[in-house]
A and B are shown apart, each in its own frame.
Chain A
């Protein structure tokens, strides 16, 4: 992210246009190379000196923001440390006390005489005093090579060199714009269930709220033409940039899910004028983003392993399915248990302890009828009763105490499947248990 004042953007009509690097990329790499070379040449010297050297790199007025933006990105990679082991604060305290006593004594104040007297009394040189008096200010910090960094020129601070620094620039601009966002919307042609799940989990983690609708069909593995609107709880009352940081942090995840369009409502400039910021395919930020790694959290991983030990005849996989329940929104299971022999399926969603309302929503969804059976696991800290979701609804609510018991899960699986199939399966589950 860049400081907002370094974003190269202007408002045209009601659109906020960001000046992307585009044809300036080569020039940006040249500037980045100079900045990096300059920084590397200043290893062991002060931040103030480096900042002066950076500002001395000649650029046209139009390139000044670009140079300063690249500096901001480069600074984040640099290792800085306090100068040599001189206790500057203690030096100041002693010197200023000495000078105050000098004044109180009625002697005329002459800086050179005061410094000389103090230096002599403390066995220091006047030059040392002047050098270290404010040697602990930000500008006096010393540039160091990061631990374990490559010592190849151009690669000490950033392994990918100037090219890598420039590659971050446009994303950093877009993220900084979203710091002033009040709402973000995204549209996809299709999105895979794991991608959407990862994205929603990320939004959940940042306490953002969303509404997800889709115009096309949903299948077990993907959704067609979904539309996601992301805001925060307080957004209902006013357009607030309160959630700007969370929205900004979510941008790389949004980009990585390959939407066709991301648009944001922005309050821009000093006057916080409302405008819209749009990234639309084929935008280079969309083309260059990496797909998110399929992640599975520790709690789910551990449950999957314990279930596999207990019931090796079941296929246990990270869930690939999302359910769109009208009026409730997306249900995002974590695991899918499948009996390949009888083609039976059940999903597990771990709700944890953070959202009691989520349980009520799922109970309503279950009452309305779920496309496939789901076991919802909620912590007892949510203070909900398992009675709110009778098994006849094709779903089960498991309220656990400390941790999720795989045995209880298997019992619930059994209860849910019993509604549909004949005994042999359950004998198998039972025989597994007796072993």
Chain B
């Protein structure tokens, strides 16, 4: 009789020549596939499957595993902080599967570097933005002094240690899911989306590490993280580390008034929008309320006017012209420090860049220009950068000590991440986050929603 063969096919494990009458190795997770007349399981069940074979006493040929044990010599002399050691030890205790929750600036990436060095397996690191991919690439190359692979932004080079964007990993995991023994998911709250979660399920990696400052998602899908990566094995909040390991900080909310004319225009636009909602019984903050508004707004001329009015009142609140003057004043006040300015949209970002002549980074900025701007910011050539959402997450700008939130969404995570950008500890550093909120507009309630985190209390 031919021996049992396990193969990796398109993000699944195909089990051939299963002995007739032998029990299902993983009931409920391994299925008969009539299309190929084989057994099939998800790639992420690889470790459990092999264990089951051994328990059933079934010999098999493993054609699935293509990852290597690799020799790694950690080059950097980075000293672990106590909580980093605790985090790593908790992850190892969970058999190398789990999520570590640490605030931005607490050195999550260094925990991952130690995990890679101690696991000694081919590793895929997945990060949400090209900027983060670049940072991981530099860090891993410096840490291990070996070629590092890169996927995303036009690169496709696979090495034993490879860094990828979530988008590229999703596109290629069907073919590369058996190539890595460890996957590190940076900013792992992105993983449970219906598409990205396939990166975890279509990979055979027995070792999995998730890193985030804010695992919770408003859609509740963070509960899937346990199946995709493992349980939360370690967690520390900003308030627990501020002062000792993170910079002390203060958040200041500045109320910006509208001019008389702006106020009139705002109220008129808002009235049109609200009347439309009332007429159709729409409550935008209820589930599906917003979708209902968009649907109705696209059907009639009245709806289109309501949509235009909604946009105008939002524009007046988020981009009140007086905000520009306040930003200008704050830049002068902090001209000896490094300042990050955040906006909700690209248009405001470019408007500030043009008006105040400071570099802008948006998703439209080319990778080379982004890198150069960040490098010049680190060297002190520029004292300020304005960005929309690109620098919200994970980007390492330790020199920044002032953040100005000109506008943003109601997302708690976004607001905490933006604060995190200025919290990396440096001798004598005191971080300041200014939030500009247009008085008596819908932005005030948006601001209340996003501040619902203990970091802002």
CB <8 Å contact, A100 and B372: no
CB <8 Å contact, B36 and A360: no
Q: Residue-by-residue, is B311-346 near A (CB-CB < 8 Å gives 1, otherwise 0)?
A: 000000000000000001001100100000000000
CB <8 Å contact, A272 and B11: no
Q: Which residues in B have their C-beta under 8 angstroms from that of A99?
A: 356-358
Name the contact of A103 in the complex, choosing from B10, B303, B335, B353 (C-beta under 8 A).
Answer: B335
Name the contact of B16 in the complex, choosing from A97, A209, A360 (C-beta under 8 A).
Answer: A360
**How many B residues have CB within 8 A of the partner chain?**
51
CB <8 Å contact, B335 and A211: no
Q: A62-B299, A100-B382, A138-B364 are in contact. Are A327 and B10 (CB under 8 A)?
A: no
Question: B171 — nearest CB in chain A belongs to which residue?
Answer: A245
Q: Residue-by-residue, is B39-57 near A (CB-CB < 8 Å gives 1, otherwise 0)?
A: 0111000000000000000
Q: Which residues in B have their C-beta under 8 angstroms from that of A9?
A: none
Q: A99-B357, A109-B328, A134-B354 are in contact. Are A61 and B31 (CB under 8 A)?
A: no
B369 within 8 A of partner (CB): yes
Number of A-B contacts (CB under 8 A): 107
A55 within 8 A of partner (CB): no
Q: Which residues in A have their C-beta under 8 angstroms from that of B202?
A: 234
Give Cα A242 to B7, complex, Å: 20
Q: Which residues in B have their C-beta under 8 angstroms from that of A211?
A: 34-35
Q: Residue-by-residue, is A81-98 near B (CB-CB < 8 Å gives 1, otherwise 0)?
A: 000000001001101111
Q: Which residues in B have their C-beta under 8 angstroms from that of A103?
A: 331-332, 335, 383
CB <8 Å contact, B298 and A237: no
Give Cα A384 to B372, complex, Å: 54
Q: A61-B298, A236-B40 are in contact. Are A209 and B35 (CB under 8 A)?
A: yes
Give Cα A113 to B268, complex, Å: 37
B350 within 8 A of partner (CB): yes
Question: B194 — nearest CB in chain A belongs to which residue?
Answer: A272
A232 within 8 A of partner (CB): yes
Q: Which residues in A have their C-beta under 8 angstroms from that of B10?
A: 207, 232-234
Give Cα A95 to B373, complex, Å: 13
Most buried by B among A99, A100, A327: A100
Q: Which residues in B have their C-beta under 8 angstroms from that of A134?
A: 350, 353-354
A188-226: which residues lie under 8 A (CB-CB) from chain B? Answer: 207, 209-211
A367 within 8 A of partner (CB): no
Q: Which residues in A have their C-beta under 8 angstroms from that of B353?
A: 134
CB <8 Å contact, A242 and B331: no
Minimum CB–CB distance from A427 to chain B (whole Å) comes to 41
Q: Which residues in B have their C-beta under 8 angstroms from that of A209?
A: 35-36
A355-380: which residues lie under 8 A (CB-CB) from chain B? Answer: 357, 360-361
CB <8 Å contact, B300 and A61: yes
Question: A232 — nearest CB in chain B belongs to which residue?
Answer: B10
Q: Residue-by-residue, is A117-136 near B (CB-CB < 8 Å gives 1, otherwise 0)?
A: 00000000000001001100
8 closest Cβ contacts across the A-B interface?
A: A99-B357, A233-B10, A233-B12, A209-B35, A96-B359, A100-B382, A234-B11, A103-B335
